[in-house]
A and B are shown apart, each in its own frame.
Chain A
Amino acid sequence: MAKKATTSNNNANPMDGAGLPEAYWQSAFMNNWSMLSHHIIGRIGITLLALFALMAVGSFIPPLIDPIYNPMSGVDPDIAYASSPSWKHWLGTDFIGRDIFSQLLAGARIAFMVGISSAFMSIFLGTAIGIVSGYAGRWTDTVLMRMADIVMVMPTLLVLLIMSALFGQLNIWTIVLLIALFRWPGVSRVIRAQTLTLKHRPFIEAAKIAGASHGRIIVRHLLPNVLPLALLYMTFRVTSAIVIEAALAFLGFGDPGTVSWGMMLQWVWKTGHMFQALWWLLPPGICISLLTLAFYMLGRAMEEILDPRLRREDPEE
């Protein structure tokens, strides 16, 4: 039979003749990456994200140059009012002489921190609950999904406002955690649906027949197959987390110890500079819009790539 096959070249890849074998996720990633970089919206999103990431990293530099550039405590001793852009302060200063540019940079860092960490937490929770719910089925599924429904219908912002009103000012990490706790149900619904379609696929049943435990099936077989979807949802969760934090801060319930873009907007508004100091109002507003837009665009592009039905042209093979 195939013993005769030694004469033919078995090393060759039957798909495309490429040499070295590569892992599925690896090749999938490379494929998707090349598609993503050809995808115009995806490209804009990535470029914007790179820009903001640069800002977040750059936020450590100004305080090193001069303590007056410290976004929170640094005050220009010569200026005690909201001054317009100058050489010393590229984007001007706020009402007590703090540098707006360095505040903007620090805000980028906070936005990334809040967005990514709360998205990560909600994705973690959502994926875990979604897989367990879909795999276990029956009453576990019912209980978990009813719980998800209850959490899902709660207006996140309102509940957060009430909580901060009750418990006083919330720490930024508490806010991150609370956002995560309220934003998992959407993810878990999607992951559960995906798990349900995977559950009866023959490779899961083959593992069962080979004697695999439930834990093994979940970790080795289900998880890798739902992970791309979870990562996709993470980009959307980042967007919503940033918006919620900004809204909370703008309404005055943010962490007073951090400089976030929402906080900056709140200062503009509270000190009555709303339409007097555009150099102060516009940068944080534009940054919030652009960063959420960037994550959203990235998500859209990823969605299109991961879901073949949305793909415009599907290469045969």
Chain B
Amino acid sequence: MSTTTMTQSQTQAMPVIRLERVTRAYHTGGGGFAGGHTIVTSLNEVDLDIHAGEIFGLVGESGSGKTTAARLMVRLEHPNHGRVLYHGENVAKLRGKKLKRFRRRVQMIFQDPYQSLNPYQSVQHIVEEPLAIHKLGLPAQRQNKVIETLTQVGLTPSMTYLHRYPHQLSGGQRQRVAIARALVLSPDVLIADEPTSMLDASIAIQIYGILSEVQRRRQVTMLFITHSLAAAHFLCDRIAVIYRGHIVEIGPAKSVIADPRHPYTQALLDALPRFGHPWGERRFDTLREIPRSEPATGGCPFFSRCVPADLDLCRQRRPALKSRDGIHSSACFLVE
């Protein structure tokens, strides 16, 4: 991150979630006789700040590392290098009481509502379980809290849902239950990992409605992970675009869409269907149809697909995130 943004974020309050040069790599077993394993780098020295009360959008294609980022933030995994900080505390080092408090404050909504609910638990049990784990309230109070939360996610009248089981609910209803489970602890960070990619458009927009309502009413800090720039623009205050484990562009949602700086962001915008597109004629044409050979070491991650790339500079050095105005930055030599 550039020095200008550093000073700015220092003057602001401490970010709720901060990734500091986070690298996460997976070892994948080599195929058959070949023996040796390969290392797949899912996140590569990623720096990211998420501030209190904002909806932050992380946009990327499948395999770009966006889900890995979410899993690191909720401490389902640990980074190989770098640190994930929650209110300035290293998440990987949390133990005992502090860990338990972290588990109360940071919640996640998963992509697939058909997989994220235990088929053997009723809606009441699913939503109540976090309260039971943290021993919050008496059973009677817990039920009230469950009903209140179900109402908030639009499952009304809530009483009729309490004793249903996931298989008796539609996909949209299941995702609402999953959101209720995440909200029942009143977390201050909510991470939503492509919460609507398995749902129909008319259901998806209702889920967006619930998320933005919740964010507005409870001032939750939210990380919204999506593959759709349109959805991110629609819902988020700030957007980061991630490509093969590198953040290539980050800035206020409106600014990123209206004035995309990184060739990859531009390519993503080009690829959106023209239907209902406010800049129907805008074209950047920054994506090479036939990729170049990958740079051996270093180099820009987008080099092989980038039309305007500088053949020497971009092949040899990896650009850092830089910004002209202090709020909208991109990792590209050509912008400078």
Report if A and B touch in the complex (beta carbons < 8 A). Answer: yes
Give the interface of A toward B (CB within 8 A): 1-3, 5-6, 10-11, 13-15, 21-25, 27, 201-203, 205-213, 216, 220-221, 224-225
A224/B156 in contact, CB under 8 A: no
Please tell me which one of the listed residues A11, A22, A210 contacts residue B185 in the complex, with CB atoms under 8 A apart. A210
Nearest residue in A to B205 (C-beta to C-beta)? A1
Q: Is B170 an interface residue (CB 8 A)?
A: yes
Q: Is B168 an interface residue (CB 8 A)?
A: yes
What residues of chain A lie closer than 8 Å to B166, measured between beta carbons?
24
Q: A212-B129, A225-B119 are in contact. Are A15 and B156 (CB under 8 A)?
A: no
A27/B167 in contact, CB under 8 A: yes
Count of B interface residues, CB-CB < 8 Å: 47
Cα distance A201–B206 in the bound complex, in angstroms: 25
Q: A13-B168, A211-B133, A225-B118 are in contact. Are A206 and B110 (CB under 8 A)?
A: yes
Cα distance A209–B76 in the bound complex, in angstroms: 7
A205/B76 in contact, CB under 8 A: yes
What residues of chain A lie closer than 8 Å to B170, measured between beta carbons?
14
Q: A2-B154, A10-B160, A203-B115 are in contact. Are A25 and B120 (CB under 8 A)?
A: yes
A207/B119 in contact, CB under 8 A: no
What residues of chain B lie closer than 8 Å to A211, measured between beta carbons?
99-100, 103-104, 130, 133-134
**What's the nearest-Cβ distance from chain B to residue A80, in Å?**
61
A207/B167 in contact, CB under 8 A: no
CB<8 Å pairs between A and B, sample of 27 = A1-B210, A2-B156, A3-B156, A5-B156, A6-B156, A10-B156, A10-B157, A14-B170, A21-B122, A21-B164, A24-B165, A24-B166, A24-B167, A27-B167, A202-B110, A205-B110, A206-B110, A208-B76, A209-B74, A209-B108, A210-B133, A210-B185, A211-B104, A211-B130, A212-B133, A216-B133, A224-B118
Most buried by B among A2, A220, A225: A2
B133/A24 in contact, CB under 8 A: no
**What's the nearest-Cβ distance from chain A to residue B147, in Å?**
14
* A-B pairs under 8 A by CB, number: 100
Write the B292-312 contact mask toward A (1 if CB under 8 angstroms, else 0): 000000000000000000000
Give the interface of B toward A (CB within 8 A): 74-76, 99-100, 103-104, 106-108, 110-112, 115-122, 129-130, 133-134, 154-157, 160-161, 163-170, 173, 178, 181, 185, 206, 209-210, 213
Most buried by B among A6, A206, A207: A206
**What's the nearest-Cβ distance from chain A to residue B23, in Å?**
22
B154/A5 in contact, CB under 8 A: yes
A23/B167 in contact, CB under 8 A: no
What residues of chain A lie closer than 8 Å to B160, measured between beta carbons?
10-11
What residues of chain B lie closer than 8 Å to A15, measured between beta carbons?
167-168
Cα distance A213–B132 in the bound complex, in angstroms: 12
Cα distance A254–B222 in the bound complex, in angstroms: 68
B118/A221 in contact, CB under 8 A: yes
Cα distance A191–B180 in the bound complex, in angstroms: 31
15 extra interface residue pairs, beta carbon distance < 8 Å, beyond A1-B213, A206-B116: A1-B210, A10-B156, A10-B157, A24-B165, A201-B116, A202-B110, A205-B76, A207-B118, A207-B129, A210-B107, A210-B130, A211-B99, A211-B104, A220-B121, A225-B119
What residues of chain A lie closer than 8 Å to B185, measured between beta carbons?
210
Q: A1-B209, A3-B156, A209-B106 are in contact. Are A224 and B115 (CB under 8 A)?
A: no
A3/B154 in contact, CB under 8 A: yes
Nearest residue in A to B153 (C-beta to C-beta)? A2
Q: A1-B154, A3-B154 are in contact. Are A201 and B115 (CB under 8 A)?
A: yes
What residues of chain B lie closer than 8 Å to A24, measured between beta carbons?
119-120, 165-167
Nearest residue in B to A201 (C-beta to C-beta)? B115
**What's the nearest-Cβ distance from chain A to residue B149, in Å?**
13
Most buried by B among A15, A203, A224: A203
Cα distance A155–B118 in the bound complex, in angstroms: 39
